[in-house]
A and B are shown apart, each in its own frame.
Chain A
Amino acid sequence: EAQVTQNPRYLITVTGKKLTVTCSQNMNHEYMSWYRQDPGLGLRQIYYSMNVEVTDKGDVPEGYKVSRKEKRNFPLILESPSPNQTSLYFCASSQTWVGMGNSPLHFGNGTRLTVT
């Protein structure tokens, strides 16, 4: 089954404790992206990647890191989480890089992160 898999689904952590949220897609998609979703603010892009070893900042990259060493995986790293990073996070992928209109985004089921 074609899907984007995120882990974990729920995560509670404390301020400053490094964490990684994993994302994997099995559709051989070139483009992958991370979003956070907050009430009243909608989906905001954190980072994106157009292909292996190519990443770029989205609208709200502060406090986050990503890497794209393999095509299928795109982990999100919070080196020193803070309470304002408490949010619902989504990973998404697309066949080609967006702006071409060739394919829609496929989303994972989300990771709900709470930082205390």
Chain B
Amino acid sequence: SQKIEQNSEALNIQEGKTATLTCNYTNYSPAYLQWYRQDPGRGPVFLLLIRENEKEKRKERLKVTFDTTLKQSLFHITASQPADSATYLCALESYGQNFVFGPGTRLSVLP
């Protein structure tokens, strides 16, 4: 069966460190993978999109990798700050099909 997993429900790290979040999937062939940030009581906000033929994408302190062989995406936040504390969702998109979201990882950056 199809499944999307994100490494852990919650992740705590110290301010200034690099946070690494994992998105693993099985029985999907995504053409695109997206990462969203969700704050409590708010709708998800788009962060980054990476295509199946791209290995890495960067935006300021954010970096996403996509390994279609391992069926995994890694989402990194460098020099993390308490303001980065939120839930992060990965979403898969296959050609002609709708988004499927992972369950999310709640990140807490401790000062």
Binding site for B on A (CB under 8 A): 4, 33, 35, 40-43, 45, 48, 58, 90, 92, 98-99, 101, 104-110
Contacts and interface: CB of A to CB of B under 8 A. Distances in A.
Contacts of A40: 103
Interface residues of B, number: 25
Interface stretch (B12-20, B38-46, B57-65, B77-85): B38-46
Contacts, number: 56
Given A33-B98, A101-B32, A105-B99, A43 B89 contact: yes
B103 A42 contact: yes
Interface string B30-42: 0110101000011
Given A42-B101, A99-B94, A109-B41, 13 more contacts: A42-B102, A42-B103, A45-B99, A98-B97, A104-B34, A104-B49, A105-B36, A105-B44, A105-B99, A107-B44, A109-B42, A110-B41, A110-B42
